[in-house]
Structure 1
Amino acid sequence: MVLAASGIIIQNKKILLLQRSNYTENYPEYWGCPGGRANKGETAEQNVIREVKEECNLNFYPTSILKKGIWQDRNYYRFLGNWSGKIKIQELEVLDYNWFSYNEAIKLQLSFDYKEVIELLYKKQLL
């Protein structure tokens, strides 16, 4: 089973979403949170810290798990956390990024389980 994790980054009741490039075979041009597959030996926490840094240059500090589950061959984790830094996207994997309110985000083409993630955040009054 492959481990994968993503970081949920929120500011002023808006979520940071990245638009996936055509570099990926899964959900090209769809929107989602920064994240990806773990390297061998990485924990879910180490994985999310590295992936957020690689994809959008932010320092991410996971504080809790919003959601976890299994998708195809992946054991995935969706982490809430604190963050710092200035966004700079990795152009190979990311086409675009933006901050979205709940009403804006829910209308996007969302990858993987991010529609559920956004609904959960809304129910918890984080968006």
Structure 2
Amino acid sequence: MTALPPTHPRDSGDAWVEGPDGRRFWGRYGAAGLLVHDEAAGILLQHRAEWSHFGGTWGLPGGARHEGESAVDGAIRESEEEAGVPADALRLAFTSVLDLGFWSYVTVVTRTSRPFAPRIGDAESLELRWVPVDEVEALPLHPGFGSSWPALRERLEERVRVVVDAANVVGSVPDGWWKDRAGAATRLLAQLERLGAAGIETSSLSDPVSQSTPLSPEAGPGRTWPHLVVVLEGQAKEADAVDSERISVLRAAGSGDDAIVDEVARAASQPLRERIVVVTADRGLTERVQALGAEVRGPGWLRGMLDPSD
């Protein structure tokens, strides 16, 4: 008889939570699951052990979050334990939140940066399988995943590119930036590097003035991880480089506005259609990029998401 993979030590979060209507949900501090999308292989699904909640169904690797643990960290940790998912093979795309008030579940959607073979790491899985996107609905799905899959599938190809007019953003605050333009640009890049790692609230992309109200009381804000393109011009081009795959720095050979328009035109012409958001308050530039299909947000929109301690 083949020995079952070991179970992992219990955490204080490994407990049931009961709602006002008597329904029970796993995870004292909420739960999180990881949806891994590989362009060639499909979606990584877990065939749940018969003894588990909704055993025999197919769903996402994941589980209860630890106290104080973020949903992203929890989903990746659980998936590494259950399915051998390597964190360095993932790129964050977005999160989708089910918030019941007394309990929440966060689906962390990622894309693969390299192929990998999953492996069963504990007794919670009967099988792990890459399932083509078109074949997911044919399986007996875990009810929670089954209800969320249509909306998740619709967003799988979602890409967001935020192009930052650095001169306009830096110049929006009279903090002495003109005394050291390269230093001011370096500080902005450091802030954007942290923002790129943390992601932005998806709702902030829906409303250019304020963050929109979720469509349903059970649908939390969620987060999106865009690719940030920062355009520097003049003395700001001497800013220090950043080390982040989330940020591209374009040092304009001439006009910063022209470089931004060229970047928007290039991105808009790619086969994989991206949602392009340009951050600027320049009216002329706004008209040029909107003519190419880009959306525009003012510097205040971006500054409102940056760490105020910076």
2:73 is the counterpart of 1:15: no
Q: Considering only aligned residues, what root-mean-square deviation do their CA atoms show, in Å?
A: 2.4
Contact 2:66 2:74 in 1 (8 A): yes
1:68 match: 97
Are the structure 2 counterparts of residues 72 and 107 from structure 1 closer, same or farther at C-alpha, using a change threshold of 3 Å? farther
In structure 1, the partner of 2:293 is none
Q: Distance in 2 between matches of 1:54 and 1:121?
A: 24
> 1: CA distance between counterparts of 2:91 and 2:39?
18
Structure 1, 26-35 or 63-72: larger mean CA deviation: 63-72
Which residue, out of 82, 95, 98, partners 2:129?
Answer: 98
> Do the aligned partners of 1:16 and 1:97 also contact (CA within 8 Å) in 2?
yes
Q: Which has the higher helix share?
A: 2
Kept in 2: contact 1:36–1:48 (CA 8 A): yes
Would the aligned equivalents of 1:4 and 1:76 in 2 still touch at CA under 8 Å? Answer: yes
Alignment of 1:74-89 (within 5 A): 74-83=103-112, 85-89=116-120
Instruction: Report if the CA contact (8 A) 1:102-1:118 is conserved.
Output: no
Contact kept, 8 Å, 1:67 with 1:117, in 2: the verdict is: no
SS in 1 for 2:69: coil
Unaligned runs of 5+ in 2: 1-27, 158-310
Once residues 52 and 39 of structure 1 are traced to their aligned partners in structure 2, the CA distance between those partners, rounded to angstroms, is 14
With normalisation by structure 1, the TM-score equals 0.81
Contact 2:81 2:122 in 1 (8 A): no
More strand by share: 1
Report the secondary structure of 2:138's partner residue. coil
Once the two structures are aligned, what percentage of the paired residues are identical? Answer: 22
Which residue of structure 2 aligns with residue 118 of structure 1? 149
CA 1:53–1:66 in 2, change beyond 3 Å: closer, same or farther? same
Does 2:41 match 1:41? no
Please tell me whether Structure 1 or Structure 2 has the larger radius of gyration of its CA atoms: 2
**Distance in structure 1 (CA, Å) of the matches to 2:73 and 2:149:** 23
Is the alpha carbon distance of 1:105 and 1:43 closer, same or farther for their aligned partners in structure 2, counting shifts above 3 Å?
Answer: same
Number of residue-to-residue matches in the alignment: 125
**Mapped pair 1:52 → 2:79:** yes
Give 1:68 deviation, angstroms: 0.7
Q: Distance in 2 between matches of 1:119 and 1:97?
A: 21
